[in-house]
Amino acid sequence: MSQSMVQDALAGLVERNPGHIEFLQAAQEVLGSIVPVLVKRPELARDGILERLIEPDRQVIFRVGWFDDTGAIRVNRGFRVQFNNALGPYKGGLRFHSSVRLDTIKFLGFEQIFKNALTELPMGGAKGGSDFDPHGKSDGEVMRFCQSFMTELWRYIGADTDVPAGDIGVGEREIGYLFGQYKRLANVHTGVLTGKAPHWGGSLVRKEATGYGLVYFAARMLAAAGLEWDGLDTVISGSGNVALYAADKAESVGARVVAMSDSHGYVYDPQGIDFHLMRRIKEDRRDRIQAYAGERSGAEYHEGAEGIWTVPCTVALPCATENEMDEAGARALVASGCRLVAEGANMPCTPEAIRVLHENGIPFGPGKAANAGGVATSLLEMAQNSQRIHWTFDEVNSRLYGIMNRIYDQCREAAEHFGKPGDLILGANAAGFVRVARAMLAQGVV
Ligand code: NDP
Ligand code: 2IT
């Protein structure tokens, strides 16, 4: 019965979302794994919950016209998918990358519902973005794009309605320009965006939060496997916001980060990545990771991002983008003795990669649990904004630490409760689903 309800919902989904491959992949993973939940608690599938959960509340698509530095007119497409607000105002990042399509935003918005639910904080799920690519654009171009983007978006968002933040291609600079335009249009200075710089309304630790949270979450996974961070060789894909601060925290708890990547290739540094050098290259200079190998003796650069999984390591943290680790990547990790994989990015491991890790008994931390520290700290930023106060770094960091530990506990307990101890995918999906479904049932059919 439960199995057939899930199958019916998925069949409808395929029919209604042709070509939306990533969204189908994300929905399939969640619905496919919660069958044991529906068997034990059939009341949670009442009132068309499954069908309503996989249909976004609202999807907005708009044109973003702007002038580049030569005076030429450019046109991009903007998106905001407000997926579900049963638990609180819509919340989720904005992604600016040339690959962004409606499919991308739907998959990310869907994942965000369950991730936000796992934080136990009052947030619904949403995502947005554009196919605009900030790489190689001047500050003026980025500013004009952000102003035009916000001129459309502002009417759909608000501190109690929908609170966007950063994601790929959107960091403190973009959030600043977006906020500046929102403030002009709405004439209010509220917490309508998170990821603001701390000197004008942002929260300390928000920039570091996703990476730090990932390392706190992985520490619990390691402990369950009888390991601890100290001395472990670690491979981290990406070198953006999540990857950099995962590397920072991993190093500070004694791990040695031996490889990092960007979309062009990866660096291998047997002495352990020099975080400060990497941060200067990627965050301050917005340069390619290749520059690292030129400035650090003993480090090697290899063309091709996917080769990073061939670097031997005990822990692998994919922190770049979706489907970046495929079956071959997972097999390479298994062959070199990897003992743990935790996702810093959203859906970075393909279903085949996850199957290989599972078959080889490698503990796996799914992104919607392991990378929830960023959005959790966004909520802490919203809380400070609405109270007009500013917490210290230690205050925010210790709250983040507590939240990541509670997320791990929920995943572990839900996996046990629903009959698959250690299966953190089931645990995360089940714990998130139960919370969202109960709220939807209480709020009636809409
Ligand atoms: P950034 O833009 O700061 O960094 C992205 C990194 O991934 C860069 O190193 C980029 O390389 C690389 N990358 C992007 N696209 C590709 C690709 N197609 N192939 C290989 N590498 C690629 O983004 P974030 O660090 O913020 O986000 C990384 C991941 O983490 C995403 O999946 C995001 O959704 C997720 N996430 C982000 C959170 C946040 O708070 N920022 C919170 C939770 C999850 P290059 O420099 O060459 O572009
Ligand atoms: O994927 C994510 O959780 C984010 N990009 C962060 C979202 C947020 O609202 O802080």
- 238 domain-assigned: yes
Looking at the structure, tell me whether residues 229 and 214 fall in a common domain. Answer: yes
In the numeric block, which tokens belong to residue 84? Answer: 């579900």
- Which of 337, 362, 387 is the last residue in one of the domains? 362
Question: Relative to the CA of 91, which ligand 2 atom is closest?
Answer: 9
Binding site membership of 239 for ligand 1 (Cβ less than 6 Å): yes
**Domain range spanning residue 168?**
57-189
CATH number, domain of 246, equals: 3.40.50.720
Establish whether 368 is a catalytic residue.
Answer: no
- 10 domain-assigned: yes
pLDDT tens-digit series, residues 249-260? 999 999 999 999
Write out residues with Cβ below 6 Å of ligand 2: 91-93, 115, 165, 167, 194, 346, 374-375, 378
Q: How far is the CA of 216 from the centre of ligand 2 (A)?
A: 17
Q: Residue 2 has what pLDDT? A: 85
Q: How far is the CA of 296 from the centre of ligand 2 (A)?
A: 32
Which ligand ends up closest to the CA of 170? 1
- 219 domain-assigned: yes
Looking at the structure, tell me whether residues 104 and 216 fall in a common domain. Answer: no
Looking at the structure, tell me whether residues 243 and 324 fall in a common domain. Answer: yes
Looking at the structure, tell me whether residues 140 and 231 fall in a common domain. Answer: no
Q: Residue 1 has what pLDDT? A: 73
- 382 domain-assigned: no
- 406 domain-assigned: no
Q: Residue 125 has what pLDDT? A: 98
Q: Residue 403 has what pLDDT? A: 98
Q: How far is the CA of 373 from the centre of ligand 2 (A)?
A: 9
Which ligand ends up closest to the CA of 242? 1
Ramachandran angles phi, psi of 170, nearest 5°: -125, 110
Looking at the structure, tell me whether residues 328 and 213 fall in a common domain. Answer: yes
pLDDT tens-digit series, residues 124-182? 999 999 999 999 999 999 999 999 999 999 999 999 999 999 999 999 999 999 999 99
Q: Which string of DSSP letters, residue by residue, matches 309-334?
A: GGS--SEEEE-S-TT-B-HHHHHHHH
CATH number, domain of 116, equals: 3.40.50.10860
- 418 domain-assigned: no
Binding site membership of 104 for ligand 1 (Cβ less than 6 Å): no
Looking at the structure, tell me whether residues 70 and 166 fall in a common domain. Answer: yes
The total of structural domains in the chain comes to 3
Looking at the structure, tell me whether residues 118 and 251 fall in a common domain. Answer: no
- Which of 362, 393, 410 is the last residue in one of the domains? 362
Binding site membership of 324 for ligand 1 (Cβ less than 6 Å): yes
Spell out the SS3 assignment of 55-124: CCCEEEEEEEEEECCCCCEEEEEEEEEEEECCCCCEEEEEEECCCCCHHHHHHHHHHHHHHHHHCCCCCC
Low-confidence ranges of the chain (pLDDT < 50): none
